Structure 1
Amino acid sequence: MPKKKKSPGPTSRLVFPQDEQKHDWLSLLLEGYFITDQGVAKGIELMEKQGAKLACTKGCSHCCATHRSIPAYPLELIGVTWYCTEKLEEPFRTPLLTQLMEHKHGDACAFLIDGVCSIHPLRPMACRQFNVFNKPCEIDEDAYYTRRKDVMNPIKKYTNKAFSVMMPFYGVTDRAQKRHVVENGLMHNMAKDMQNLNWASLARKMMEFDAQIPKN
């Protein structure tokens, strides 16, 4: 299971020490998510100062079930694949395998198991930043369209910084080039819709990994 690194501020960065030594991309992703989470915490704080009350609570998964388009970037998808293959344990692993094999476009998020996000530590930025205020979503409601004012706007400064931190994965290391890519929204051209991906291939990777583990 992931460990927490103590850090000032409202959130802590997830760390996987051995895996981060093995995979250079993992530190970039986790650092980007750490910045994203800080931005979310700040955004919630600002909304609450304006009198809004966060409606999202543990156990609520309406957005996971109703949103038919969930963008994720290539680095995020690699993170999801790694987490599911090498880190995900029961009680999620077995039902997720079945769900990934059977998932089709129009279904709820492939990673939603009995109302719980099975990849919560590695969930994409889009999921992390979607926060609804004042009243919980109704079943089948997408609050972004039904009551936009109740949906938090991500703080651009944090989002851009998170994208910039992840940029070396895409071969962009020059500071000016990073700024160009981020400020012109070029990152969004790489986003994939998680609903349209072939998740059965991930299930096969998970089963191949499991087959390599020695049996006691």
Structure 2
Amino acid sequence: MRPLNSRHRDPALERALPGAALMLEACALVDASVDAAMAAARGAGRRWACGPGCDTCCRQPIPVTPLELLVMRAQMRFRLAPGIRARLEAQHAEQCAAEPDPLRRPCPYLLDGACAVYAVRPLACRRYLVLDQPCAPGEICTESRPEDMLIPARKALHAALALTFPWYGARWRDLGLTEPPDASPESAAAQAWLASVTVPLQRLVWN
């Protein structure tokens, strides 16, 4: 299992965006759970099918929390070269003009078949892994062959989201959200609230 101290670190980004450090800790928790699940899958004779150039999952609705989106926006502004940002912006404008339904558009951070903000990609993307055979174009593996989906520990996802809960407790008004419940971050009420503020990335003003 990957040690948590191997998490992505970006001091400038973490200083610029309150909450970024919490989100990166959350990503590290999920990454460790994925590593554990993958180790178990390898022990059962299975292999990871995802790799460079595989972007089928990036063309499906991608659930994100507000803090995940803010971190991706910050990564784009602070870490991507101006030319890359310009290409992303132009591509997004073209996609919006061609497809009015946002849920039919690919992830706005997908460029040349790869994630432009991979280091801070959403928790959902980190957990979506296919075994043995890569996805066919347009395939939704959770529907077509769920037995080939890697299943990381959901408890780790809940713990990761719980790390971010206090950040929302201090900023929910500024973000235009409903008030979080006065409950433990890992409680069912807190997790339900986090689920309620999770929306498809493609529906949001992304940049």
Gaps in structure 1 of 5+ consecutive residues: 1-7, 203-216
TM-score computed with the length of structure 1 as normaliser: 0.79
Identity %, equivalent residues = 28
Change (3 A) 1:182 1:89: farther
Map of 1:83 onto structure 2: 75
Identify which range, 25-34 or 53-62, moves more after superposition.
53-62
1:163 to 158, 161, 164: 161
Map of 2:123 onto structure 1: 125
TM-score computed with the length of structure 2 as normaliser: 0.83
Change (3 A) 1:11 1:62: farther
Q: Size of the alignment, in residue pairs?
A: 192
- Across the aligned residues of Structure 1 and Structure 2, the Cα RMSD in angstroms comes to 2.5
Change (3 A) 1:184 1:111: closer
Map of 1:210 onto structure 2: none
1:30: how far off? Answer: 0.8
1:23: how far off? Answer: 3.0
1:102: how far off? Answer: 3.1
Deviation beyond 4 Å, 4+ runs, structure 1: 172-176, 181-184
CA offset digits 1:76-112 (Å, max 9, x no partner): 0111111112221266322112123333321222111
CA offset digits 1:20-46 (Å, max 9, x no partner): 234331111111111111111111111
1:179: how far off? Answer: 2.3
CA offset digits 1:19-78 (Å, max 9, x no partner): 32343311111111111111111111112212221111122112113x1x2100011011
Q: Secondary structure at the residue paired with 2:187? A: helix
Distance (Å, rounded) in 2 between the aligned partners of 1:91 and 1:121:
19
Write the letter of the residue equivalent to 1:28: L
Change (3 A) 1:121 1:184: closer
Map of 1:4 onto structure 2: none
Identify which range, 92-101 or 126-135, moves more after superposition.
92-101
1:27 to 21, 32, 47: 21
Indicate if the aligned counterparts of 1:181 and 1:187 stay in contact, CA closer than 8 A.
no
Write the letter of the residue equivalent to 2:68: E
Indicate if the aligned counterparts of 2:181 and 2:193 stay in contact, CA closer than 8 A.
no
Gaps in structure 2 of 5+ consecutive residues: 97-101, 171-179
Identify which range, 147-156 or 86-95, moves more after superposition.
86-95
Distance (Å, rounded) in 2 between the aligned partners of 1:42 and 1:93:
35
